[in-house]
Amino acid sequence: MSHLRSLASELLVDDRFFSIYAGLEQEFGRERLEQFLDRGEGATAALDDEALADLRSRVASDNCLLAEEYHLDLKRYGYALAATSAGPAWVKGVSPASEASSSRIDQLFTVIETERQAKASQISEIQKTFAGEREAAIARIRELEAMLKAEHNAFVARIRELEASLDGERRAQANQIVEMQKEREAAIARIHELEAMLKAEHNAFVALIRELEQKGLKPTLRRVVTQILRAVSKRGEEDSNLR
């Protein structure tokens, strides 16, 4: 075990360092963090050679048993290992410090996995919500487009209907103007005709009166002729008012 890993194992029992360790593992990854902790010199014990040799002989067989049972590479970290795996069959555990560190690490992994699953579930719910809102927005946009298109078609149809109605009224008024113009021209022609007839009758009466005067017409006949001329003149005025 390196000196850094030994210090980390001792500090993991502190919740503050545990949080920092969890953040480092999440930021850099477990493998890179393990490689970092393995750097540097191995952990040393302040024991004399005799006591250290006695300690190694006591723990070597147990370390070998742990390495075989849990598939641990203890030799990599400088643990004393016996030549064979012989040792007490009842040895199944580890030291309290190692057990606490392993428990904290397992707890850390459990917390990280729980948070990861919670975040994944939250992201999935948000995606579902966004998908539903997006579909609703698309449906609303299509509905508004259909309404707009229908209103546009209705306005176009109404405009064309009004244009057709206006064109029909314009043509009717034009035809009416043409008919009125024809009636006016007919009335003018009739007036001219009546004026010509009146003038002809007037000239005829004047000629007749002069002829009668030359022959010595009596006063009674003169009055009759005068009344006739007045009637003709009055008729001519009435015909002129038709203009």
The number of angstroms, rounded, from the C-alpha of 116 to the middle of its chain's C-alpha atoms is 32
Asked if the structure places residue 214 within a domain, the reply is no
Question: Of the spans 62-71, 123-132, 211-220, which averages the highest pLDDT?
Answer: 123-132
Q: How many domains does the chain have?
A: 1
- The token pair at 101 is 């560190």
Asked if the structure places residue 184 within a domain, the reply is no
pTM: 0.33
Range of the domain at 39: 3-115
Asked if the structure places residue 186 within a domain, the reply is no
User: Amino acid identity, residue 17?
Assistant: F
Asked if the structure places residue 221 within a domain, the reply is no
Question: What is residue 114's three-state secondary structure?
Answer: helix
Asked if the structure places residue 50 within a domain, the reply is yes
The number of angstroms, rounded, from the C-alpha of 115 to the middle of its chain's C-alpha atoms is 34
Predicted confidence (pLDDT) per residue in 171-218, tens digit: 999 999 999 999 999 999 999 999 898 888 888 888 887 877 777 655
What burial class does residue 72 get, using C-beta atoms within 10 Å of its C-beta: 0-12 exposed, 13-18 middle, 19+ buried?
Answer: middle
CA–CA distance, 243 with 185 (Å, rounded to integer) = 11
Place 147 in a pLDDT band, splitting at 50, 70 and 90. very high
Residue showing tokens 């850099």: 28
Residues facing 42 on adjacent strands: 2
CA–CA distance, 231 with 198 (Å, rounded to integer) = 11
Share of the chain above pLDDT 70, in %: 67
Asked if the structure places residue 196 within a domain, the reply is no
Asked if the structure places residue 108 within a domain, the reply is yes
CA angle 106, 33, 8 (to 5 degrees): 65
- The token pair at 234 is 């009055």
Asked if the structure places residue 37 within a domain, the reply is yes
**Whole-number CA gyration radius for the chain:** 65
